[in-house]
Chain A
């Protein structure tokens, strides 16, 4: 069964710093990988979707990469802001209906 790991579980950085969040998965046979943001007590907001044939996706200050062969993805956040504080989840899709989630990295950006 696919296992998804996110390290670290929590991260605090000063405002303005660039940072990288990590996601690893055990089975490289994936359709895509999706990064989500979750604010406390709220649902998930999709940030970026990378198809298995792609290496990276960018949206504004966010850049996600995918190395399927090594089972890794990173989410790069440039020039972090206090509003970026949230929990970031990655999820890999291995079938039409199978989405496996990591337990998330809780990010705090300190003003």
Chain B
């Protein structure tokens, strides 16, 4: 079975802090994704990566950056956390084919105070 893990289930940070969210997948998937999920807005794509050191902006990249130094690991970085970044963050991965399904991690609930 594909396994996608995220470094923390719950995280509380202060405004202005630098925040790292990490995601690891164990199925050698080429593509990895970061989403945020908010009530009434659904899941929105922040960034995705289709290869090591490659990244593409999603629908809402502002205030975020990403890093993919190894194939299995995709990090989301909040350079200076703000209260409007309080959300559920979900990581996903898929093989590099359009017909393949996405597998999701358990999510990180981030609260910025």
Contacts and interface: CB of A to CB of B under 8 A. Distances in A.
Q: Count chain A CB atoms within 10 A of each CB in B6, B43, B88, B104 and give the residue with the most.
A: B43
B101 A49 contact: yes
B44 to A, nearest CB: 8
Contacts of B109: 41
Interface string B65-99: 00000000000000000000000101010001111
Interface residues of B, number: 27
Interface string B30-67: 01010000001111010010100000100000000000
Interface residues of A, number: 23
B42 A103 contact: yes
A99 interface: yes
B50 A97 contact: yes
Contacts of A31: 98-99
Nearest to A101: B43
